[in-house]
Amino acid sequence: MDIQLEKKKGLRPKHYGYIAIGLLVLFVGYQLIFSTSVATFRTEKDKLSIAEVTAGKFDDYITINGNVAPITTIYMDAYEGGRVTEKLIEEGAMVKKGDIILKLENMNLYEQILASESNLALKQNDLRSTKLTFDSRQVEGRRSLATASTDLQRLKRNYEQNKALFAEELISKEAYQLSKENYELSQKQYDIVKMQTVNDDELRVTSLTGLDADLARMQKTLGMVYQRLDHLNVRAPADGQLGFLDAEIGQNISQGQRIGQINVLTDYKIEADIDEHYIDRVKRDLSAVLERNGKDFKLRVRKVYPEVRNGRFRVDLVFIDEKPETIRTGQSYNIKLQLGESSDALLLPKGSFFQSTGGQWIFVVTPGTDEAIRRNIRVGKQNARFYEVLDGLESGEQVITSNYDSFGDAERIILK
């Protein structure tokens, strides 16, 4: 008689193997599918900077570094070239306007002065000779005019007498005609002498005026040459401090060469370079604050230079009221430059991720997991500590703010 065996219910050992193989297949398939759709990068969490997005007041300012400079710098260029013979004032010394700093010598200039003096002397002699000639002609002309006038009067009288006598038939017609012709000839000669005298006088005035003008020009030219001689003494153009002096005894200085500068220390300014990112927002009269020994000093932007060099542009700031007592040229200060009013905003801590993304996207840590997903965002203004978040993030979210260069094209970061 056959005994019927009961079938055991439940999982047998071989079933566990099937299940394990199935799970492994599912896991591998999941990994293959996921890895082909999302680029993943694995890194240690401790090597990253992770910050939290918060809501708060966004202070619209930037921190810039500036150097103290004199309010005005006057450059000294050589009016005349020459060899340095004497150096009277050293760099760093205080000077008054007109103080002689250097003495130069220029042999060519000395020769030009001698030539100008010689030409002026010749011109003066020519003028005197010309005046003497015109004076002699003037005297001779007036003598001739006096003689012609006397002859005219005498012949006129003789003609009038003969005319009366001829009317009474007391003299011959020939005698009358001769006296008349002599009188008319004398009249013409007188007119000619008078006209010549007038012309000589006009010529004298015109010629002497021109000669006087030439003489005055030569005297002025000589005066300018003497002024050039005085320019061999290099003088301070204003009161201040001799900032630098590029000249030594025996050195040849060319005309127009930059040889030094005077720093006018009646006040100070601060020169600062700013990233070109802010060039459209930095305007004249913006407010700024300099903190020194726990005290704030107010400044304003006096000038914005339009030229951009190496991605930066320059501004000049001046103190509004008081300035630090110990301020000196060349000192460096950190300054807060206010670009706008404070406002409520989402604040994203600054980090080096911005150099990789330009603020267009960021890795956001998924809550409760060890992974971060790439997300597009939009940022607005920035200050020394925060970016203003306009879109893409919410308060309380965690983001990776460290550098992204090693992440490549990854869209997901696994934090180990």
Predicted confidence (pLDDT) per residue in 228-258, tens digit: 888 889 999 999 889 889 889 999 999 889 9
Last residue of a domain, one of 338, 361, 389: 338
Q: Answer yes or no: do 120 and 210 share one domain.
A: yes
Last residue of a domain, one of 338, 359, 378: 338
Structure tokens at 281: 């927002």
Q: In what order do the strands lie in the sheet with 100-105?
A: 233-235, 100-105, 82-87, 252-253
Q: Answer yes or no: do 220 and 282 share one domain.
A: no
In a domain, 14, yes or no: no
The dihedrals phi and psi of 304, each to the nearest 5 degrees, come to -115, 120
The CATH number of residue 312's host domain is 2.40.30.170
Q: Answer yes or no: do 148 and 237 share one domain.
A: no
In a domain, 22, yes or no: no
Predicted confidence (pLDDT) per residue in 360-396, tens digit: 999 999 998 889 999 999 998 888 789 999 999 999 9
Q: Answer yes or no: do 121 and 212 share one domain.
A: yes
Q: Answer yes or no: do 332 and 367 share one domain.
A: no
The dihedrals phi and psi of 358, each to the nearest 5 degrees, come to 65, 15
Q: Answer yes or no: do 275 and 169 share one domain.
A: no
The single-letter code of the amino acid at 97 is K
The CATH number of residue 386's host domain is 2.40.420.20
In a domain, 6, yes or no: no
In a domain, 88, yes or no: yes
Last residue of a domain, one of 314, 338, 362: 338
Q: Answer yes or no: do 122 and 219 share one domain.
A: yes
In a domain, 3, yes or no: no
Q: In what order do the strands lie in the sheet with 378-382?
A: 54-58, 343-349, 386-391, 378-382
**Degrees, nearest 5: CA angle 138-141-143:** 110
Q: What is the 3-state secondary structure (H, E, C) of 7-21?
A: CCCCCCHHHHHHHHH
Predicted confidence (pLDDT) per residue in 13-58, tens digit: 555 666 767 676 666 555 544 444 568 898 888 888 999 999 998 8
Q: Answer yes or no: do 41 and 78 share one domain.
A: no
Range of the domain at 45: 36-59+343-415
Predicted confidence (pLDDT) per residue in 137-194, tens digit: 888 888 888 998 998 899 999 989 988 898 888 888 998 899 899 999 999 998 998 8
